[in-house]
Structure 1
Amino acid sequence: MRQATTLITIDTPGAGLHEWTDRLVDWVSAQRFEAGLLTLFCRHTSASLLIQENAAPAARRDVERYFARIAPESADYEHDDEGPDDMPAHLRTALTQTQLSIPLIGGLLMLGTWQGVYLFEHRRQPHRRSVAVHLIGD
């Protein structure tokens, strides 16, 4: 059994779903594992991780609009230390995931044909996000 770890930095231009599947595939390939489990952990409270449709941009836009509706910017929140998008960003993170696990079989991540890995930035301003990556296997 072997392990490999890294931190991947993702610079976001602002709110939305930002795909970074290719970076993961390249890193996993360089590790030369045949089988295992890849774990991803987003180290932030106002961004999250999603596996989502990567073929139709409309699907991503619909996801983004849905979260804007269920956790809208509002003056009703007590927590607004960093602006009006502060608390909605925390709520959107709470409703999504900060950790993902993806099986590795035959040296390949077992993502479906139309699945991509996304960092879901919940803040309007650009940010530099960090994702801890851990691969365990053979």
Structure 2
Amino acid sequence: MPGSLSFERPLAALLSGLALVCGGWALWPALSPSPRLPVVTHAALPAPLSADPAPVYATTPSIRPLISGQLNLNTASEEQLEALPSIGPALAARLIAARPYRSLADLDAVRGVGPVLLAKLTPLVRF
């Protein structure tokens, strides 16, 4: 079929040309990279959120509260940990087992401590 050959050659040439153009587009960034400089912006930092101060309970000669001020998580007893909001015996034992604590991230890594409990404990604890 002589007619089909005359149709196939231009089509093959067109497809080959398109393949070369696509290859050129794909390789262009590698062959001629343009330097990208970092964009530096100066923005004021947001004001720090003020946390509510930890409550301080009055003491009497016969009554001494388990917690007064901020509780050090690295030295607190199990009873003192259980006095914190939403902490029971099992979580207090996990908190003692996960010592030492250096930041809120260490406290957040303990199983059972989530964002809600972390927000409750933030003004009550120190490291």
**Normalising to structure 2: TM-score of the pair?**
0.26
Q: Which is greater in Rg?
A: 2
Q: Which has the higher helix share?
A: 2
Q: Which has the higher strand share?
A: 1
**Normalising to structure 1: TM-score of the pair?**
0.24
Higher RCO (CA-CA < 8 Å; seq separation 6+):
1
